[in-house]
């Protein structure tokens, strides 16, 4: 099974680049093109939030036109730039797994790996939350899975990443959340977006993974007390490949044209053949 993870489209009204300079709509189109060019194609695509920049109905129309080009199942969760009600109203007709009201959580049981999408949005805030109700919902769904290999995906990371500009806006969780995750070793990954960088770490007995954005990235700044800035580093697709013998292995595929694939022609002095 191959899961392609895209994140943080930040689609804008046509002719209005994000932050005055970033053509996020063209970048979203290129990201979808890159998924379509994969061989083999993924079994499904997940999009970990911030599909739009301001959560406007017209922005979701653009998003849905792009997502409709994908022939494989596509699963979406909202981010802080999305508006939950508008998100659901615009996308539910084509994405029937989305609830009609309340938190936009769901479970997908159609693949060798179980997929659990979590809604971490706190309206009007940059950060998110897994409140008591959301945690209880997740606990019930994990119990129902009876140890089946599982991937959880959400927008806001529920863990710190050691970068001050990012760690001020995570998903706030209870002291018991990490213990809940740790009680379920079948959780192969906790997949997130929000931070516009490739980040991975050990978290609660599994791996926390943040995918980069499909357009702009957050500039890496490890100095204490600094604020986030964006930079036009290469966007990428995360590919999570499941095989029974290896479990889930994650790869990062840059989006863009980097030339043809070339054979390795070894120098006669190469010591591996002597």
Segment 225-242, tens digit of pLDDT:
999 999 999 999 999 999
Nearest to 143 by CA among 110, 169, 107: 107
CB 105 within 8 A of CB 78: no
Tokens 């191959």 label which residue?
2
Q: What is the pLDDT of residue 198?
A: 98
Res. 273: pLDDT tops 90: no
Q: What is the pLDDT of residue 254?
A: 97
Q: Is 133 left (phi over 0), alpha (psi -120 to 50) or beta?
A: alpha
Q: What is the pLDDT of residue 136?
A: 98
CB 5 within 8 A of CB 198: no
Cα 54 to Cα 200: distance, rounded to the nearest angstrom = 28
The predicted model gives 101-114 an average pLDDT of: 97
Nearest to 103 by CA among 126, 83, 120: 120
Q: What is the pLDDT of residue 174?
A: 96
Cα 39 to Cα 41: distance, rounded to the nearest angstrom = 5
CB 161 within 8 A of CB 201: yes
Q: Which domains does the chain have, with CATH numbers?
A: 2-256 (3.60.21.10)
Res. 274: pLDDT tops 90: no
Nearest to 54 by CA among 98, 18, 100, 90: 18
Cα 192 to Cα 151: distance, rounded to the nearest angstrom = 11
Q: How far is CA 154 from CA 9, 195, 233, in A?
A: 15, 12, 23
Res. 144: pLDDT tops 80: yes
Cα 129 to Cα 113: distance, rounded to the nearest angstrom = 25
Q: What is the pLDDT of residue 215?
A: 97
List, for residues 31-76, the tens digit of each pLDDT value: 999 999 999 999 999 999 999 999 999 999 999 999 999 999 999 9
Work out the end-to-end distance of the chain between its first and last CA atoms, rounded to an integer number of angstroms: 39
Task: Give residue 184's pLDDT band: very low, low, confident or very high (50, 70, 90).
Answer: very high
- pLDDT averaged over every residue in the chain: 97
Task: Give residue 100's pLDDT band: very low, low, confident or very high (50, 70, 90).
Answer: confident
- Of residues 151 and 273, more confidence is placed in 151
Determine phi and psi for 101, rounding to 5 degrees: -155, 165
């Amino acid at each position: 099974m191959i899961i392609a993870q895209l994140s943080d489209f930040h689609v804008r009204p046509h002719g209005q680049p994000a932050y005055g300079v970033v053509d996020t709509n063209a970048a979203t189109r290129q990201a979808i093109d890159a998924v379509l060019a994969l061989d083999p194609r993924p079994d499904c695509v997940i999009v970990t939030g911030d599909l739009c920049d301001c959560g406007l109905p017209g922005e979701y129309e653009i998003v849905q036109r792009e997502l409709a080009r994908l022939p494989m199942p596509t699963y979406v969760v909202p981010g802080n730039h999305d508006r939950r009600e508008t998100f659901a109203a615009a996308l539910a007709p084509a994405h029937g797994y989305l609830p009609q009201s309340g938190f936009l959580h769901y479970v997908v049981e159609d693949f060798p790996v179980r997929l659990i999408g979590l809604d971490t949005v706190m309206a009007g805030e940059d950060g998110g939350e897994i409140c008591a109700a959301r945690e209880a919902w997740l606990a019930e769904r994990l119990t129902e899975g009876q140890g089946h290999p599982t991937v959880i995906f959400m927008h806001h990371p529920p863990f710190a990443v050691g970068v001050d500009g990012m760690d001020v806006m995570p998903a706030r969780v209870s002291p018991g959340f990490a213990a809940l995750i740790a009680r379920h070793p079948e959780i192969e990954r906790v997949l997130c977006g929000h931070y516009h960088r490739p980040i991975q770490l050990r978290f609660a007995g599994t791996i926390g993974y943040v995918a980069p954005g499909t357009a702009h990235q957050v500039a890496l700044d490890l100095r204490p007390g600094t604020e986030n800035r964006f930079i036009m580093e290469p966007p990428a697709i995360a590919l999570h490949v499941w095989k029974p013998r290896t479990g889930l292995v994650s790869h990062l595929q840059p989006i863009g044209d980097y030339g043809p694939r070339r054979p390795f022609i070894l120098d006669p002095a190469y010591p591996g053949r002597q």
